[in-house]
A = this chain, B = another copy of it.
Amino acid sequence: METALKGSCIIGQSGGPTSVINASAYGVIRTALDNENITRVFGAAHGIKGVLGDQLYDMGEEDARELELLMNTPSSELGSCRYKMADPDVDDTDYKRILEIFKKYNVRYFFYNGGNDSMDTCNKISAFMAKSGWECRVMGVPKTIDNDLYNTDHCPGFGSAAKYIATSCAEIYKDARVYDTGMVCIVEIMGRHAGWLAAAASLAGIAGCAPDLIYLPETDFDMDKFIENVRRVYEENGNCLVAVSEGIHYADGRFVSEAKTSATDGFGHAQLGGLAAHLAAVVKERMGVKVRGIELSLLQRCAAHNASAVDVEEAFMAGKVAVESAVAGETGKMVAFQRRYEDGQYKCDCVLAPLDSVANYEKKVPAEWITPDGTNVTQDFIDYALPLIQGQPERPLENGLPRYARLKKVLAK
């Protein structure tokens, strides 16, 4: 393998933020700044849009201590984007512009941190650079709370989101049972096509606070059966805690959250709330009991204050390995995780997966990890997810609140 490619690098962040995406960025930035083959380290403002717009922050201008605080700073500190690259065979304008920028700054290493779409972007850029004869090593760094990337055991960001969801569900469980009058409580969790996050609600069972029912998008939703199940649990326990994935859908494919005016649920009026509010209203109408809908909303993907130390460390490692692998000659790969157990202890190794084997696929919760009636997950899921939510990261506070990184963001000249 070639080993002495000298030049600058760019790190970009893409897609929805997570609690640990900045830990991956720090893994790239720190490792790159310390590597003698990498001459300058740039952070792209708002992902690939920053490359196209020549908005690159010079990471060498930042204080080391502030950069280190990226380990505990949620969201995408460099800014993110949701920009779908055209097929270069149809329109190569963007690719030519990227090549121009790469040449301008002598960019020989490109690291892109994101989910499915970002791996697709990575893959297209990689192919275009190869075709153009501009030697540039392109590496994907995985990121998504959705945990739906192929060819990796799990994704950085998922563990912290899972921990927040499980902790919050445990707290809601405690709160919702405080009166001797019953209540149905419905918690809406992110996950449009894959149910990993909603499944994580089951981890609240460790604290003795498992949801009674969990609905994932991997199975078809039936409103009548749902009400039947809620009623049964409520009659048995006097309470019912339900975790639902935002992506649950009827057998015909319509999202429950978008099919609110259908005859299926008997509601015909416009509605501003989300899925939780909708299901709460149906339960209220059909069962006449006290009910509350709670949407975890953005907090599940940005609650760095309750991050998993395992997740933070793995996110950093993914960025670090991306740089090390690229410098060692790798290109067109995504850093992936492989799990093993050493004396029963969970360990995570980094391996490389070809970008085109990851891009544009969605990994779902396996059918055998979902109970036959589709209202919960099995112990297999818990065994899988439990190691990922472990540990409390060191978290600097200032006056009782998190001390986030404060970057200068000096634009490269």
Contact = CB atoms under 8 A, between A and B. Distances in A.
Number of copies of this chain that the complex holds: 2
A301 B304 CA distance: 19
Interface stretch (A4-12, A129-137, A290-298, A323-331): A290-298
Contact of A272 (B16, B272, B406): B272
Interface in A218-254: none
A341 B380 CA distance: 54
A401 B202 CA distance: 12
Given A175-B298, A272-B280, A168 B401 contact: no
Interface stretch (A34-42, A79-87, A350-358, A361-369): A79-87
Which of A209, A270, A278 gathers the greatest number of chain B CB atoms within 10 Å?
A270
A333 interface: no
A191 interface: no
A177 B306 CA distance: 20
21 contacts: A17-B174, A17-B175, A75-B177, A76-B178, A79-B179, A79-B180, A80-B178, A81-B180, A82-B179, A172-B302, A174-B404, A176-B298, A185-B298, A203-B401, A206-B398, A206-B400, A207-B401, A271-B273, A272-B272, A273-B273, A273-B277
A302 B74 contact: no
Nearest to A13: B178
Contacts of A281: 272
Contacts of A280: 272
A17 B390 CA distance: 28
A304 B305 CA distance: 12
B401 A392 contact: no
Contact of A302 (B73, B175, B206, B297): B175
A345 interface: no
Given A81-B180, A167-B401, 6 more contacts: A82-B179, A207-B401, A270-B271, A273-B277, A294-B298, A308-B400
Contacts of A81: 179-180
Interface string A14-50: 0011000000000000000000000000000110010
Report the contact-size class of chain A (Cβ under 8 Å from the partner): 35 or more
Nearest to A390: B400
A299 interface: yes
A126 to B, nearest CB: 25
A204 B304 contact: no
Interface string A164-208: 001110111011111110000100000000000000000110111
A274 B278 CA distance: 12
